[in-house]
């Protein structure tokens, strides 16, 4: 079911989950490096935070690349846990149908 979530729901989940980790900016920096290994897209923009850089990078990636990142970093979990993290029920609109 995790792989059936749509792109926006996956990104929303990742941001909420990563925001709970510490030190947050260092973790975003590390994850940015991992994203660049998965997807060869490169942006030569200036960011004020690694979180911003992460968001710009992950929103430019294909869903299959985001799933690859989730699998590699251990973010593939049950839908029930995702609902707990997001503090809402996963509904039909959260899935690719």
pLDDT of residue 43: 62
Indicate the helix (H) or strand (E) that contains 68. helix 63-73
- Cross-strand pairs, 95: 5
Coil vs helix vs strand at 93: helix
Residue 37: band (very low, low, confident or very high) from pLDDT cuts 50, 70, 90? confident
Give the chain's end-to-end CA distance (angstroms, integer): 12
The yes-or-no verdict on residue 27 having pLDDT over 70 is: yes
| Torsion sign (Cα): 36, 39, 44, 45 | negative
Coil vs helix vs strand at 38: helix
The yes-or-no verdict on residue 45 having pLDDT over 70 is: no
Coil vs helix vs strand at 77: coil
Residue 42: band (very low, low, confident or very high) from pLDDT cuts 50, 70, 90? low
């Amino acid at each position: 079911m995790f792989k059936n979530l749509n792109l926006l729901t996956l990104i929303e989940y990742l941001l909420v989950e990563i925001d709970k980790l510490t030190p947050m900016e260092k973790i975003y920096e590390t994850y940015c490096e991992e994203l660049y290994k998965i997807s060869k897209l490169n942006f030569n923009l200036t960011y004020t935070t690694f979180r911003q850089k992460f968001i710009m990078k992950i929103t430019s990636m294909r869903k299959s690349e985001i799933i690859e990142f989730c699998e590699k970093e251990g973010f593939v979990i049950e839908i029930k846990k995702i609902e707990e993290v997001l503090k809402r029920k996963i509904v039909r609109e959260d899935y690719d149908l």
